[in-house]
Chain A
């Protein structure tokens, strides 16, 4: 079974621009979560989508948004980019089960904001 895929793998943007990242979950997985990884803050939860609805949200500003499509693929968008948004953005997918479920990660999209 193919793993989680993310595109693009690398991205360079300038401050003030916006960016859209894409994630395709493992086939059959209906939950998609997004995380930001930086050297200073480590891995932090952004949001989680299930059945095209955002179920959980982390403590990030409204510039960070996402959506999920009917085929479970997900996108996240960051508007008005800031230097501090430079990070590795990771997508993880899981089967839906209330109460904790193994999340499988993709390789990430490395975003550099100049």
Chain B
């Protein structure tokens, strides 16, 4: 299940630090956004979602921020752990269609 792109941006953080992964989405009409985590050999795993009527949502150790003005989404991971190492994707959904459009992904590497 690797999404190994030749040019995947990589974020390297030390264990215990906070991570911020950014995503620029394409459609100003998108109204639902999801962050997924994909580990090697697995399918994307749901992390957190947010609807366009919100600008912040928190989960366990994760926070998603939505800035509709600049079409920007970010995922913050607190106290990053080695198990957080994976590729992270943002995805957007527009209107009534159940059709996700994915970003290119960011590889998060957690160093000890």
Contacts and interface: CB of A to CB of B under 8 A. Distances in A.
A31 B98 CA distance: 8
Contact of B3 (A42, A100, A104): A42
B7 to A, nearest CB: 9
Interface in A23-76: 31, 33, 35, 37, 39-40, 42-45, 48, 50, 55-56, 58
A36 B78 CA distance: 31
A88 interface: yes
Given A39-B5, A43-B89, A56 B99 contact: yes
Given A39-B4, A99-B32, A100-B32, A48 B98 contact: yes
A112 to B, nearest CB: 14
Interface residues of A, number: 32
Contacts of B3: 37, 39, 42-43
Interface in A55-114: 55-56, 58, 88, 90, 92, 94, 96, 98-108
A108 B39 CA distance: 12
A103 B96 contact: no
B93 interface: yes
A58 B43 contact: no
Contact of B5 (A4, A42, A48, A105): A42
B6 A39 contact: yes
Given A43-B3, A99-B31, A100-B32, A107 B43 contact: yes
B98 A33 contact: yes
A33 B99 contact: yes
Interface stretch (B10-18, B44-52, B56-64): B44-52
Interface string B72-112: 00000000000000000101010111111111110000000
Given A42-B3, A105-B45, A107-B43, A98 B34 contact: no
A55 B95 CA distance: 13
A103 B32 CA distance: 12
Contacts of A102: 34, 46, 49
A90 B42 CA distance: 10
User: Which of A94, A96, A102 has the most B CB atoms < 10 Å from its CB?
Assistant: A102
